[in-house]
A = this chain, B = another copy of it.
């Protein structure tokens, strides 16, 4: 069954497709699970991770397919849509295929129209559940995170009100937290710019501790970062212990364990380790699990979901956030290193639109009509812009993977444009296929599926970009030169000082390097398109996450709390009171 996405909206396609949503029993059969390995949850059952992974520990893994993209326009080039399209295409070829996607945050859902569920005939269902809350993982993360902040502020109040002796009576030792050095804020899963900078603890001596504070969006929580990289519940429990909530007046970190709140946080998080099951509109099962930021975290669905998917499917498709310079680099050097899993192929999503932009086309601005360069054939801009794609093909090849370029077809593209991109990609040593999954579902993605299956037959000599022993600053140098194409790295004094400290302290030896940089350019400057030349990467600061074990060199600013605009999506969202159906989401 294929629907016409040029006349039907995504939610209409979803509504039709959901009439045929897999039942829990069907999911169980598709994944080869035993009955007690599926945890009932409305239309989106969860999979009992600990049980499944233990039972299948000796089963060989399926093929591991990562989806990444060239440097995108601000409109995005359709990575999620393509991930779903690959699943559908492989499904049409009769393969046992599934995948994993991230869970979207309520903030963007309520602020901008769109749900990260793909589009057209490459769509994830059930759409409302996926978009609004799903299995509550984000709520569990929000509550657990805020419980740490409750513990922190209450402790500061009690330490201000009680003597050491009085504290000792309660089994407490003074932590002496420095209110000027509390780096962690509270979280809420909406775009609440009014909570970016706040003062809390006003009132009397029992109304908390007076201090500056802040809220971030829930998915930016370190707990979300941890969920994405945790190997299992034991690993999660251990990481929670080391989350740095604040610093004491001597500058020493104060952790969740110091606040004695780590056990309760892990208890509240216990259900989050079980991934939820959704489906493509063509009935390929797809895990939805975790939704971390792609700057301060890995920006990918969880290691747990990939581990299960590789046991349950012959082909498991997973998407990396941002473009290949960020998303693939983190998949390659962080996610795969932490999981020990080896990918078989990476699919690099390219669009004629984005390539023309890299070739010098005018700026693409959300909300404004596309300039003519993008809607009419223009082989010159396109050929020039292909250098961005070739650069990223070469980056991927450094890992040992030979990528497949997916030319994600738009209806304004011409055949000559597609042929040009395909030729250049193949000349650069990649497989390439034009794909029309948005328009035609799996039937439109057969060439892509064939290229992916073909690639999966090759052996991959997978190697990391840098060894774990390499010190932080050298790692950043390697990433900047080899991946971003910079001439070198400039460390600002604060960043250099911190980096030296981290390099000298064996405690940080196994911390992952998590680059923070815009995804709109290979460089740190969003407006530099194509392949920027003759530039150096500035590192302004290095953030540290003690639980997730991330060191984040900052080559760009990050906002952990987006804002709600003047025409937000919630204005158009409503529910049918007769049947509970939600409208206006898409």
A146 within 8 A of B: yes
A7 within 8 A of B: no
In the complex the two chains form, what is the Cα distance from A178 to B170 in whole Å?
A: 45
CB-CB contacts below 8 Å: A113-158 with B: 132-133, 136, 139-140, 142-143, 146-147, 149-151, 153-154, 157-158
Closest Cβ–Cβ distance, residue A557 to chain B (whole Å): 14
Nearest opposing residue in chain B for A107, CB measure: B150
A201 within 8 A of B: yes
Closest Cβ–Cβ distance, residue A184 to chain B (whole Å): 13
Interface secondary structure of A, over-half rule = mixed
Kindly list chain B residues whose C-beta atoms are within 8 Å of the C-beta of A132: 267-268
In the complex the two chains form, what is the Cα distance from A199 to B194 in whole Å?
A: 10
In the complex the two chains form, what is the Cα distance from A142 to B187 in whole Å?
A: 12
Whether the Cβ atoms of B197 and A154 lie closer than 8 Å is no
CB-CB contacts below 8 Å: A267-292 with B: 267-268, 270-271
| Residues of A in contact with B, size category | 35 or more
Chain A, 188-226, contact with B by CB distance < 8 Å: what is the 0/1 string? Answer: 111111111111111100111100000000000000000
Nearest opposing residue in chain B for A209, CB measure: B194
A343 within 8 A of B: no
Closest Cβ–Cβ distance, residue A138 to chain B (whole Å): 9
A454 within 8 A of B: no
Whether the Cβ atoms of A190 and B574 lie closer than 8 Å is no
In the complex the two chains form, what is the Cα distance from A571 to B151 in whole Å?
A: 10
A584 within 8 A of B: yes
A568 within 8 A of B: yes
Whether the Cβ atoms of B575 and A237 lie closer than 8 Å is yes
In the complex the two chains form, what is the Cα distance from A584 to B260 in whole Å?
A: 13
Instruction: Give which listed residue, B40, B147, B206, B237, contacts A45 with CB less than 8 A.
Output: B40
In the complex the two chains form, what is the Cα distance from A195 to B215 in whole Å?
A: 12
Given known contacts A40-B41, A194-B209, A263-B573, A580 and B270 CB-to-CB distance under 8 angstroms: yes
Whether the Cβ atoms of A194 and B153 lie closer than 8 Å is yes
Closest Cβ–Cβ distance, residue A558 to chain B (whole Å): 15
A1 within 8 A of B: no
Partner-contacting stretch, out of A13-21, A519-527, A559-567: A559-567
Kindly list chain B residues whose C-beta atoms are within 8 Å of the C-beta of A266: 574-575, 577
Whether the Cβ atoms of B191 and A570 lie closer than 8 Å is no
A162 within 8 A of B: yes
Whether the Cβ atoms of B150 and A140 lie closer than 8 Å is no
Given known contacts A268-B132, A566-B162, A570-B260, A150 and B191 CB-to-CB distance under 8 angstroms: yes
CB-CB contacts below 8 Å: A54-111 with B: 106, 110
Whether the Cβ atoms of A140 and B133 lie closer than 8 Å is yes
Given known contacts A267-B582, A570-B264, A106 and B143 CB-to-CB distance under 8 angstroms: yes
A424 within 8 A of B: no
Whether the Cβ atoms of B234 and A193 lie closer than 8 Å is no
Whether the Cβ atoms of A143 and B189 lie closer than 8 Å is yes
A261 within 8 A of B: yes
Closest Cβ–Cβ distance, residue A320 to chain B (whole Å): 28
In the complex the two chains form, what is the Cα distance from A39 to B41 in whole Å?
A: 8
Whether the Cβ atoms of A200 and B195 lie closer than 8 Å is yes
Kindly list chain B residues whose C-beta atoms are within 8 Å of the C-beta of A566: 154, 158, 162, 167, 170, 172
Given known contacts A143-B106, A577-B233, A582-B267, A193 and B171 CB-to-CB distance under 8 angstroms: no
Which 8 A/B pairs are nearest by Cβ-Cβ distance?
Answer: A194-B208, A40-B40, A263-B574, A153-B194, A264-B570, A197-B202, A139-B139, A234-B577
User: Taking beta carbons and an 8 Å cutoff, which residues of A are in contact with B?
Assistant: 24, 39-42, 45, 50, 106, 110, 132-133, 136, 139-140, 142-143, 146-147, 149-151, 153-154, 157-158, 162, 167, 170-172, 186, 188-203, 206-209, 232-234, 236-237, 260-261, 263-264, 266-268, 270-271, 563-575, 577-580, 582, 584-585
Supplied contacts A40-B40, A136-B139, 20 more A-B pairs, CB within 8 Å: A39-B42, A50-B579, A106-B143, A132-B267, A133-B268, A136-B136, A150-B192, A154-B563, A154-B568, A194-B200, A194-B208, A197-B202, A207-B563, A232-B577, A236-B577, A237-B577, A263-B574, A264-B569, A264-B571, A270-B575
